Amino acid sequence: MLLQSPTLKIFPGRTDGQGGVTLLELLVAMLILVMVSAMLYSVLNVGIGFSRKGEARTIAAARERAFLGLLHRQVQGAWFDRKERKPVLDASGYRLKLVTSAPLLNRDLGVVLAVYRYDPKEDVLYYAEKKDYYNADFRENYEPDRKDMLVLMREVGGLSLEYQADSGTVMVRCRGREYGLPVRCWLPEVG
């Protein structure tokens, strides 16, 4: 007696006995592959976009912290004029001038005149230092030429500076936040 082996049917709809893939099945498989690839691409693209935005925010926050750290050191090191009995400091609107013992560029000098100037049209913060801070020309109306100033920060996001003489505080408004930087050499007015 001969035993017959049962035939294995891979594709139950086929009766011709040939095993293989039809063109329609191949097209369906390709379509599914393309759809999955498109979904993966869109998910990855969104993730990359969020990563770039997060990185930009992180960089902007780091720049802001560095600027505020520098400004805090310089305000803390503000020079006190004994004759006038006040710090040599002037801040109003988009400009800050102060004589400080914490220079950024000329660290070997000890004391310099530091000038910050913000240009709201360009959204750029400029910085300059003058070695001969005692020069009378640098007092009230001195404004360095912008081409002689260093670009300290771009894309500032709005900046205003104000010195409140009654509390001895430099108020900084940057990116919608407000910071108060106390002047260490400030003395309250008597009287």
Model confidence pLDDT, tens digit, residues 79-135? 887 777 778 888 888 898 988 888 888 777 778 888 999 999 999 999 988 887 666
> What is the percent of the chain with per-residue pLDDT over 70, rounded to a whole number?
82
* DSSP characters over 111-149: -EEEEEEEETTTTEEEEEEES-TT-GGGSTT----GGGS
Domain ranges within the chain, ordered by starting residue: 78-182
Token duo for residue 58: 């992180």
The DSSP-derived string for 18-31 is: -----HHHHHHHHH
Q: Which residue has the tokens 């660290």?
A: 107
Q: Whole-number mean pLDDT of the chain?
A: 81
pTM for the model stands at 0.68
